[in-house]
Amino acid sequence: MTDKLTGAAGRQHVADSIRHALRSGDLVPGQRLVENDLAAAYGATRGAVREALQDLAAEEILEIVPRRGARVRTVSVEEAVQITECRSALEQLCAGKAATLATDDQRAELARIGVDMRQAVADGAWEAYSALNQRLHELVIEASGQEVARRTLGRLNGPMVRYQFRLALRPGRPARSLPQHLAIIEAVVGRDPEAAGRAAAAHLDDVIEQLRSSAAPSPT
């Protein structure tokens, strides 16, 4: 076995491991995280675990209450809606800028993603569609050159993993979001900032609607 991870390395490792555990459902909201257990599980020192927990709390993924440890934060539907409203505002900005600033390579990749998305929906390849979806959003943000927005959106997405999961596997969801995604691509590739912003906003407004109609946040 390798030595115990310490400092920056351990900190990063533990934080990533917890994020991953969250995504894969190994950790559920409300669950308590004990420093010693995490240290043993991930082969890090308690100090490293402590710093990692602070980082995750700053991202609002965890909630740490003094003397009582860290818990996985639960995100209400209302908060998920607010997060998505903010994402909408920022992605609208990015889409508009991307329409003006994207390089030819980026426009080409966007077009390719559009083609692949159509195919994925036709084939019922849900995981592939989800990956393309994520890449699309990333690419639009990257093409906008808005580094601050990129970081901010990254922060906002942290606590949302749970909902992304729930929404993605709603029946008929891909068929519904496909035209919205294609509209974003078309506007950005076609150098129409106004339309790009509108398309991005329309897409996320639809996500908000879906969130609102999803009754309870968690059946567990």
Partner DNA sequence: ATCAACAAGATTGTTGACAAGATGTTTCGC
Partner DNA sequence: GCGAAACATCTTGTCAACAATCTTGTTGAT
Please report, as ranges, the residues that interact with DNA according to CB under 7 A: 4, 6-8, 33-37, 45, 47-48, 50, 64, 66-70
State how far the Cα of 187 lies from the Cα of 171, in Å rounded to an integer: 27
Residues 6+ apart with CB under 8 A from 213: none
What residue type is assigned to position 103 of the chain? T
CB of 52 to DNA, least distance (A): 12
Smallest CA-to-CA distance from 140 within 177, 114, 169, 173 is with 114
Burial classification of residue 78, based on how many CB atoms lie within 10 Å of its CB (0-12 exposed, 13-18 middle, 19 or more buried): exposed
For position 49 contacting its own copies by CB under 8 A, the verdict is no
Out of 45, 106, 133, 146, the only residue in the binding site for its own copies (CB under 8 A) is 146
CB of 93 to its own copies, least distance (A): 4
For position 83 contacting its own copies by CB under 8 A, the verdict is yes
Identify what 130 binds: its own copies, DNA, none; CB under 5 to 8 Å per kind: none
Identify residues 158-217 at the interface with its own copies (CB under 8 A).
Answer: none
Tokens 């506007």 correspond to 187
CB of 16 to DNA, least distance (A): 17
Residue 154 CB coordination number (10 Å) = 12
CB of 29 to DNA, least distance (A): 17
- Alpha-helix residue ranges (DSSP H) falling in the chain: 7-23, 35-42, 46-58, 77-101, 104-123, 126-144, 147-157, 161-168, 173-189, 193-213
Out of 26, 147, 194, 209, the only residue in the binding site for its own copies (CB under 8 A) is 147
Identify what 79 binds: its own copies, DNA, none; CB under 5 to 8 Å per kind: its own copies
Spacing of C-alpha 155 from chain mean position? 9
What residue type is assigned to position 2 of the chain? T
Residues that bind its own copies (rule: CB under 8 A) add up to a total of 24
Binding mask 85-104 for its own copies (x = CB under 8 A): xx-xxx-xx-----------
CB of 186 to DNA, least distance (A): 48
**Collapsing DSSP states into helix, strand and coil, what is residue 79?**
helix
Identify what 35 binds: its own copies, DNA, none; CB under 5 to 8 Å per kind: DNA
CB of 51 to DNA, least distance (A): 8
Nearer to DNA, 69 or 193 (CB): 69
State how far the Cα of 115 lies from the Cα of 39, in Å rounded to an integer: 45
